[in-house]
Amino acid sequence: MSRATQRRIGWTAASVLLLLLAVLLSLALGSRHIAPAEVLDALLHGGTSDNAQVVRTMRVPRTLVGVMAGVALAVAGTVMQAITRNPIAEPGILGVSQGASVGVVCAISFFGVHTLTGYVWFAFAGAGIAAVAVYVIASSGRGGASPVKLGLAGAAMNAFLASLVSGIVTTDAQALDEFRFWNVGSIGGRGMDIVGQTWPFLVAGLVLIALMARGLDALALGEDVARGLGHNVPLLRVLGALGATVLTGVAVAAAGPIAFTGLAVPHIARALVGTDHRWVLPVAALLGPVMLLVADVVGRIVFPPSEVPVAVMTALLGVPFLILLVRRKATVAA
């Protein structure tokens, strides 16, 4: 076994341990601190105490949503950076997040939907329609859906959809009042019903991405190299965009728009295990929830009993790490 493989295995194992620690912290810490032993007892043996009820009914769903959203955003960001060959690409680059926002706004304003479980399907629909529209626009004309055209089409779609959202909420005070709580990005207040609605899509997206991991390595080297290695470049881009769209839809539908995780985690994963996507994708899938859960825990305890939304904390905690990585030239390239 080579030293590089040993290092990769070591970092993967360390990422697993970090995820387990982050899950335990998420279950134990908050406005009410609960001892780890009591958390484990509540999970394994039940119980009727107040702390046991808090763990099972509030913190377990919150933690599961955080794990799912973290995995989805990190893997989607890794794929987007590979298929666009853009080191600053993140899950919102194809307009997916803004599309989900339009879906939620329409659900509130035009369909009378006022619950998180009701938002999920509208968010998914909006995300999917936006991603398809971006790909259709980018694939028209000469050259097909190149990385540059995808990025430009995504930026244009983001701007258009953001204006559409602003136009709706500024003319509907009730929609603005409800939408702002979803739009801030949080994993609090979610129940197991949200988990039940979104986990099949998470599994489907991860399976699709896993099947094309080797193709992502070839695509990152350039289109000509990928073709020379026998890969169908347009098909790779379509499947990658589809997988990233499904995963981003999962995260946005479950937790609202959460920026930065999908941008920073792939760079951290590549810094640890190199550029082979067969290693980068699993490590990113482990570190994404770590970032999200740790940010959520810090947001819960920094100004008790109030909470800082996780989307705010991910940016505050993640920026220093990304700045450090950018200073190391080898970590910038996808």
DSSP 28-57: H-SSS---HHHHHHHHHH---SHHHHHIII
In the structure, what pLDDT confidence band is assigned to residue 12 with cuts at 50, 70 and 90?
Answer: very high
Domain spans of the chain?
3-331
Q: What percent of the chain has pLDDT over 70?
A: 96
| Count of alpha carbons within 13 angstroms of residue 222, beta-carbon side | 3
pLDDT at 18: 97
Q: Please report the pLDDT score of residue 284 as a whole number.
A: 97
Above 90 in pLDDT, residue 185?
no
- Which is more confidently placed, 38 or 181? 38
In the predicted model, what is the mean pLDDT of residues 136-142?
A: 81
Judged against a pLDDT cut of 70, whether residue 331 lies above it is answered with no
pLDDT-derived band at 328 (thresholds 50, 70, 90) equals low
Residue 119 pLDDT greater than 90, yes or no = no
pLDDT value for 334: 44
Residue 129, pLDDT > 70, answer yes
The burial class, CB within 10 Å (0-12 / 13-18 / 19+), for 274 is: middle
Question: How large is the average pLDDT for residues 178-186?
Answer: 84
pTM of the model: 0.90
Mean pLDDT over residues 206-224, rounded? 85
Look at residue 103 in the predicted model and tell me its pLDDT: 92
Structure confidence at residue 332 (pLDDT) = 43
3-state secondary structure 264-311: HHHHHHHHHHCCCHHHHHHHHHHHHHHHHHHHHHHHHHCCCCCCCCHH
Whether 177 shows a pLDDT value over 90: the answer reads no
Task: Give the pLDDT confidence score for residue 322 in this predicted structure.
Answer: 67
- Residues 183, 258: Cα–Cα separation, whole Å: 9
Q: What is the DSSP string of 8-28?
A: HHHHHHHHHHHHHHHHHHHHH
**Given a cut of 80, is residue 28 above it in pLDDT?**
yes
Return the CATH fold of 3-331.
ABC transporter involved in vitamin B12 uptake, BtuC (1.10.3470)
The end-to-end CA distance of the chain, in Å, is 25
Model pLDDT for residues 146-169, shown as the tens digit of each residue:
777 877 888 899 999 999 999 998
Q: One-letter amino acid identity for 17?
A: L
**Amino acid (one-letter) located at 119:** Y
Most confident of 3-7, 85-89, 327-331: 3-7
**How far is residue 322's CA from residue 185's CA, in Å, rounded to a whole number?**
21
Q: Give the Cα-Cα-Cα angle 221, 279, 83 (nearest 5 degrees).
A: 35
The segment with the largest mean pLDDT, out of 25-39, 63-77, 100-114, 211-225, is 63-77
Question: Higher pLDDT residue, 326 or 100?
Answer: 100
Q: How far apart are CA 241 and CA 132, in angstroms?
A: 9
- Check residue 94 and report its DSSP letter: G
pLDDT of the residue at 333 = 43
Average pLDDT taken over every residue of the chain = 87
Contact 298, 53 (CB under 8 A): no
